[in-house]
């Protein structure tokens, strides 16, 4: 994909008809004529400004001529942490030759390392798709998600492919740094929110920070099962059809500089199923979803990765899932976010029970809490 010929945009107003004509021509979506109008409907994300654009073209315009586009402008510098160019490379490099990759069509993208900003010009699928948090998950949706993640993961699977991507497995130190970001949240959570929990859950939560890291460090040294991951497969980052389940799109790959970007593919599955599915739904669906994911990996050429290894990796990643909600409280408890992270954490602890994650490090947490 050819990037925008102009510098990184900092204001949606810079997406003029002239700019849009240039970038759509560079992308091949406009082969003749020009954009004559771009009506904007603006909005904001957590770290971005965005606009939905309704385009009109000159009578002689030819080519794809997308009628609606989504412009995303991101400030990638956030005090002592940053995003980098991951979301730009997601669309422009990492999966451009991956069959069936669940990415939105991208018409322009640019990143400035000096300004630490970037922009994306994507297809706007608002009329046909919605975020998955607007509807309850089903098995058929889970199977579609498994297929989509397998399409991403198989493309960069294993040491040889990761070396080609310039993304070798993380060191044990990086994995520990990822854990350490969340660790300060444990004390205020246990102190303020463990009332009514099963007796062993506080010990189980502490063990995820005290005992699990050693297992993760050992697993980090084994490239099999590792790939480029999305890392944030939450319901707001999955777009599903308003009718049906396919095709779905995975958006907003925006890892922080401390995030895991090369890791077990099972992590993305655990992130979605463990953190966001109610336990009864997860219990009913997770094995067939994982089976579909494994079958899709094999169909796409992954070898040497058996079902048992996937299941073990999924259990390991389910145990890791507590890090995500705990990170919300790394600077103390913000009451505004309690309704977000608390159910996620309780689902993760329930999954750790269901999958006997404590057995991974040889501990009987039921006895600890007795």
Mean pLDDT for the chain overall: 93
Here the CATH number for the domain that contains residue 224 is 3.90.1200.10
Q: Is the pLDDT of residue 42 over 80?
A: no
Q: State yes or no: pLDDT of 368 exceeds 50.
A: no
How many domains, in total, are found in the chain?
Answer: 2
- Indicate if the pLDDT at residue 78 is higher than 70: yes
For 218-257, the pLDDT digits (tens) are 999 999 999 999 999 999 999 999 999 999 999 999 999 9
Residue 116's alpha-carbon distances to 38, 51, 111, 311, in angstroms, are 26, 20, 7, 39
For residue 46, pLDDT over 70 is answered with no
Question: Which of 123, 144, 162 marks a domain boundary?
Answer: 123
Q: Which of 123, 154, 185 is the last residue of a domain?
A: 123
109-125 average pLDDT score: 95
Of 113, 125, 85, 105, nearest in space to 253 by CA: 85
Please check the confidence at residue 47 and state whether its pLDDT lies above 70. no
User: Is residue 3 in a domain?
Assistant: no
Last residue of a domain, one of 101, 123, 145: 123
What is the structure's pLDDT at 45? 61
Tokens of 225: 């099962």
Under DSSP, the state recorded for 8 is: P
365 band by pLDDT with thresholds 50, 70 and 90: very low
Any domain includes 229: yes
The pLDDT assigned to 134 comes to 74
- pLDDT confidence of residue 364: 53
**Least trusted range by pLDDT, from 2-11, 151-160, 222-231, 300-309:** 2-11
Preceding omega of 247 cis (within 30 degrees of 0) = yes
Whether the pLDDT of residue 2 is over 50: the answer is no
Whether 2 is in a domain gets the answer no
Q: Is the pLDDT of residue 68 over 70?
A: yes
Measure the CA–CA gap between 333 and 346, rounded to whole angstroms. Answer: 16
Which helix (DSSP H) or strand (DSSP E) does residue 77 occupy? strand 77-78
* Residues 195 and 337 both lie in one domain: yes
* Confidence (pTM): 0.94
- What digits encode the pLDDT tens for the residues 285-339? 999 999 999 999 999 999 999 999 999 999 999 999 999 999 999 999 999 999 9
Q: How many Å apart are CA 294 and CA 316, to the nearest integer?
A: 16
Domain interval for residue 48: 12-123
Nearest-5° Cα angle at 191, 215 to 214: 10
């Amino acid at each position: 994909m050819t990037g925008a010929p102009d510098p990184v945009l900092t204001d949606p107003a810079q997406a003029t008809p002239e700019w849009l004509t240039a970038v759509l021509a560079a992308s091949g979506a406009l082969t003749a004529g020009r954009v004559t109008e771009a009506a904007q409907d603006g909005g904001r994300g957590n770290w971005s400004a965005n606009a939905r654009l309704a385009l009109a073209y000159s009578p002689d315009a030819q080519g794809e001529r997308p009628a609606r586009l989504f412009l995303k402008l991101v400030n990638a510098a956030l005090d002592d942490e940053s995003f980098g160019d991951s979301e730009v490379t997601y669309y422009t490099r990492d999966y451009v030759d991956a069959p069936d990759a669940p990415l939105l069509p991208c018409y322009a993208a640019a990143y400035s390392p000096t300004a630490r900003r970037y922009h994306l010009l994507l297809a706007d699928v608002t009329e046909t798709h919605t975020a998955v948090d607007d509807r309850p998950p089903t098995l058929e949706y889970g199977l579609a998600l498994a297929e989509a993640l397998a399409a991403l993961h198989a493309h960069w699977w294993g040491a040889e492919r990761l070396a080609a991507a310039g993304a070798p497995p993380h060191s044990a130190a990086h994995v520990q740094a990822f854990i350490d970001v969340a660790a300060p949240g444990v004390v205020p959570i246990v102190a303020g929110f463990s009332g009514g929990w099963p007796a062993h859950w506080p010990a189980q939560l502490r063990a995820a920070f005290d005992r699990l890291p050693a297992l993760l460090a050992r697993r980090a040294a084994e490239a099999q099962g590792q790939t480029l991951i999305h890392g944030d497969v939450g319901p707001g980052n999955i777009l599903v059809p308003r009718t049906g389940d396919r095709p779905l799109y995975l958006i907003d790959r925006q890892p922080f500089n401390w995030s895991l970007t090369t890791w077990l593919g099972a992590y993305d599955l655990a992130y979605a199923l463990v953190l966001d599915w109610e336990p009864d739904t997860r219990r009913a669906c997770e094995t067939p979803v994982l089976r579909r994911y494994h079958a899709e990996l094999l169909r796409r050429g992954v070898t040497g990765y058996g079902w048992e290894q996937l299941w073990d990796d999924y259990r390991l990643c389910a145990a890791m899932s507590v890090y995500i909600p705990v990170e919300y409280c790394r600077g103390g408890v913000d009451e505004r976010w309690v309704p977000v992270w608390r159910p996620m954490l309780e689902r993760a602890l329930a999954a750790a029970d269901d999958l006997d994650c404590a057995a991974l490090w040889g501990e009987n947490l039921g006895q600890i809490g007795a």
